[in-house]
Amino acid sequence: MSLEALPGECPDHPQEECAVFGVFALGEDVARMTCYGLQALQHRGQESAGIAVGDGETVTVAKELGLVTQVFDEASLAALDGFVAVGHNRYSTSGGAASWEAAQPHISAIDTTLIALAHNGTLINTDEARERLSRQGLHFRSMSDSEVAAKTIGIATQRTHHLREGIRRMMETLEGAYAMVIASPDSLYAFRDPCGIRPLCIGRLPEGRGWVVSSETCGLDIVGAEYVRDVEPGEIVRFNEEGMSAEEGVTPRGRAACIFEYVYFARPDSVIDGQSVYQARREMGRVLAREAPAKADLVLGVPDSGVPSAMGYSLESGIPYADGIVKNRYVGRTFIQPTQAMRQLGIRLKLNPLPSVIAGARLVVVDDSIVRGNTSKQLVSMLRDAGATEVHLRIVSPEVRWPCFYGIDTDTQEQLIAARMDLEGIRRFIGADSLAFISLPGLRSSVCADHPGFCEACFSGEYPIEIPVPIRKKSFLSKTA
């Protein structure tokens, strides 16, 4: 379901962990540019926001719980003066609930020099590194995996006196998904795990004014930067007064870009690996119309990410598309706790049907995914209450049967309805007249027929980076898996 969870609510769709953004631009207001970049990437995390700025001498950080516009104002941006900046939006998975300590960027000291690190993804083997660093006398302020990365880089840099060597050491020792940016007092660094699971792209400001890195291209667009290329898996890229330089940090492994970015996480106006997210979503709808046709009067999309796919389904099937569901854009993006009575309204807080469109019609309803199934059940019931005579649910991702350990919060298999029920069981639970999911080959071909390789682990159970046994035991239904 394409909806944010309300505060205190168990989310019924995958939740993205974070967004990262960075700027190196002499003579520019880099804090303000980072603030704009983070606003463009707000969909990737809404629990906390932070910006760190380097001014040639030191690094200053400001971070707080809340949305970017709640955390930063004119006064706080004016206090962040410098020419290199990194920023972060957080959705907590690893590191537990929202807390100031877990908010990023994380600051780490290298002798007397500070660096600030921002991370999108999840590291899966930080326990050992945390213990080792604690034995060396380092103090941790949070349970965040990103703080372990920042401290690992800090201590290795202290030894080698080269930040790139510190980053390389972290890349050699810590496993998992990471797209990271670091601001030192005078340089910006961007680097990515050897499988390239989470996205990270590079842009250039006009007239040679500087460089920008962003989780998605929509972050480049908002500051007027032109897309140059993606940070390659395993690569370390540095930006400083001399320009951009890149080198291999660790040897790239089999490419495994998260395919769910195209289905749900990324903004439709972003381009990942040369593929428009919007066009991919349209194509998913077309493929699903061929794979799972339905007899109906109207095609509806569940806002926001289901809408382009619904248009694709309509184009392919010839069934007219209609705007029959309206989304309340702001209710999920708040820290105001709903009362229990409000919470019982469930999906009504976020979506409202248009009876004037729906009443008396047989509907095809296109959505991005089903994780726990509760929201889909409420959606079908709400559409019937609004007068739909039939509801045929079509989902543009395959069944989510396996947890994700690479930056998404579906951390146990028990939570996943498709891991516990077959298709007919899910259909009955949800109460739809028919239910169909796109096939994995269908999804793949919708995104890009000749892509070098996707992570599809939440559909297939084939994890590109091995999951440590203790995590498997805790998270999988079969403890021997």
User: Which C-beta is closer to ligand SF4: that of 201 or that of 458?
Assistant: 458
Q: What is the Cα–Cα distance from 174 to 145, expressed in whole angstroms?
A: 10
Q: What is the Cα–Cα distance from 3 to 302, expressed in whole angstroms?
A: 9
Interacting residues with ligand SF4 (CB under 6 A): 14, 197, 258-260, 404, 406, 408, 455-458
Shortest reach from residue 435's CB to ligand SF4, in Å: 21
User: Which C-beta is closer to ligand SF4: that of 213 or that of 455?
Assistant: 455
444: Cα separation from own chain's centroid = 19
Shortest reach from residue 188's CB to ligand SF4, in Å: 25
User: Which C-beta is closer to ligand SF4: that of 361 or that of 404?
Assistant: 404
Shortest reach from residue 14's CB to ligand SF4, in Å: 6
- Listing DSSP states for 292-317 in one string gives S----SEEEE-TTTHHHHHHHHHHHH
Do 104 and 64 form a contact (C-beta atoms < 8 A)?
Answer: no
Token pair, residue 195, equals: 């499988």
User: Which C-beta is closer to ligand SF4: that of 72 or that of 463?
Assistant: 463
SS3 60: strand
- Segment (H or E) for 50: strand 48-54
- Which residue(s) pair with 245 in the sheet? 238
- b/e sequence 96-120, b meaning 16+ C-beta within 10 Å: eebbeebbbbbbbebeebbbbbbbb
Whether residue 18 lies in the annotated active site: yes
Shortest reach from residue 213's CB to ligand SF4, in Å: 20
Q: What is the Cα–Cα distance from 231 to 272, expressed in whole angstroms?
A: 11
> Of the residues 18, 35, 218, 448, which is catalytic?
18
**Nearest of 209, 191, 208 to residue 200 by alpha carbon:** 191
Shortest reach from residue 234's CB to ligand SF4, in Å: 17
Shortest reach from residue 251's CB to ligand SF4, in Å: 20
- Which residue(s) pair with 48 in the sheet? 65, 90
- Which residue(s) pair with 23 in the sheet? 85, 212
User: Which C-beta is closer to ligand SF4: that of 13 or that of 286?
Assistant: 13
451: Cα separation from own chain's centroid = 20
User: Which C-beta is closer to ligand SF4: that of 357 or that of 477?
Assistant: 477
SS3 445: helix
Q: What is the Cα–Cα distance from 289 to 294, expressed in whole angstroms?
A: 8
Q: What amino acid positions are annotated as catalytic residues? A: 18
